[in-house]
């Protein structure tokens, strides 16, 4: 193993032969601090994707509401998403998981021992954008050794 | 729009109750089709309702809707098919309010 390869391996924590996979012209590399004047750019090779996924979007929606009056004997609340039952809660909030992109309408109905009450006025979420697919981060490390 | 549904907790042939509300009371046709509602305003501002089961012996569960909040239910009297005391109670469920969502 050469000195250069050893230094590269030290910085990346990967075997030297995998360093080339870290080299990329990604946006992250463009915003990184410029290399020292003494450094020279290493020979770039075609980058291969790194197995790093970054989730920057939420796919859950939290629904909250005010409690019904105590004398109503509420045993729980049913939460509806776009008219379909999404789940139920014994408290005054519920988080809907795996929400698909788009605008969704939510309603809540109280339940007591004898049945379900009327649904609340619907509330819609802002549009949930689609998740970016295949987000990757590549790290550029340029190392030179003056011998 | 805020609403309140009225329920009776056991099968009855008829019931009477005084509803404290500013809204309009209407019979709930589903799931019991054979019911008839009569209502009369009282001097104390409440509305006395009487519900009869007509084409069937008894009804239970949700029996009426009010298009506003109900502050109270008093004077509940229920009867079984033989005209005896059914011993049932009337409950309400209101529209949940203050709904908020946060992605």
Parallel, antiparallel, or unpaired for β A105-112 and A123-124?
antiparallel
CA A144 to chain centre: 36
Query: SS3 of A83, please?
Result: coil
Over 90: is that where the pLDDT of B76 sits? yes
pLDDT tens, residue by residue, B43-71: 898 999 999 887 777 888 899 999 999 99
Q: Which residues of B lie closer than 8 Å to A, measured between beta carbons?
A: 1, 3-5, 7-9, 61-62, 65, 91-103
SS3 content of chain B, % helix, strand, coil (to 5): 0, 60, 40
The token pair that represents B11 in the structure block: 């099968």
Provide the pLDDT for residue A141. 78
Q: How far is A134 from chain B (nearest CA, A)?
A: 22
Q: How many CB pairs under 8 A join A and B?
A: 95
d(CA A105, CA A61): 11
A60, A68, A121 ranked by CB distance to B99: nearest: A121
d(CA A59, CA A57): 6
Parallel, antiparallel, or unpaired for β B4-12 and B59-66?
antiparallel
Query: SS3 of A21, please?
Result: helix
- For A52-131, strand residue ranges (E) read 61-64, 76-81, 84-89, 93-96, 105-112, 115-119, 123-124
Contacts of B98 in chain A (CB under 8 A): 64-66
Query: SS3 of A140, please?
Result: coil
Q: Give the angle B56-B61-B65 at the CA atoms, nearest 5°.
A: 100
Which regions of chain A carry the CATH code 2.60.40.10?
Answer: 61-124
Average pLDDT over residues A110-135: 81
d(CA A147, CA B13): 102
Q: Which residue of B has its CA nearest to A113?
A: B9
pLDDT tens, residue by residue, A61-108: 999 999 999 989 999 999 999 999 999 999 999 999 999 888 899 999
> What is the residue extent of each domain of chain B?
4-94
Instruction: Give me the CATH code for the A61-124 domain, please.
Output: 2.60.40.10
d(CA B12, CA A109): 25
Question: Does A136 touch chain B if contact means CB atoms closer than 8 Å?
Answer: no
């Amino acid at each position: 193993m050469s000195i250069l390869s050893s230094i590269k391996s030290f910085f990346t924590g990967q075997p030297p032969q995998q360093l080339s996979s870290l080299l990329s012209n990604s946006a992250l590399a463009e915003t990184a601090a410029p290399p020292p004047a003494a450094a020279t750019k290493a020979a770039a090779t075609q980058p291969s994707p790194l197995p790093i996924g970054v989730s920057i979007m939420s796919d859950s929606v939290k629904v909250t509401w005010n409690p019904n009056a105590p004398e109503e004997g509420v045993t729980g609340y049913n939460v509806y998403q776009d008219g379909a039952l999404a789940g139920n809660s014994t408290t005054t909030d519920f988080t809907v998981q795996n929400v698909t992109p788009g605008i969704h309408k939510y309603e809540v109905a109280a339940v007591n021992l004898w049945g379900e009450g009327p649904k609340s006025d619907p509330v819609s979420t802002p549009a949930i954008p689609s998740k970016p697919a295949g987000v990757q981060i590549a790290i550029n490390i340029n190392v030179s050794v003056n011998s | 729009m805020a609403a309140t549904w009225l329920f009776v907790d056991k099968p009855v042939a008829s019931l009477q109750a005084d509803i404290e509300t500013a809204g309009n009371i209407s019979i709930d046709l589903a799931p019991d089709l054979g019911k008839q509602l009569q209502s009369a305003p009282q001097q104390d501002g409440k509305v006395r309702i009487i519900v009869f089961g007509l084409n069937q012996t008894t009804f239970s569960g949700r029996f009426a809707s009010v298009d506003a909040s109900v502050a109270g239910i008093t004077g509940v009297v229920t009867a079984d098919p033989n005209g005896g005391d059914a011993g049932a109670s009337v409950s309400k469920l209101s529209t949940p309010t203050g709904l908020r969502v946060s992605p």
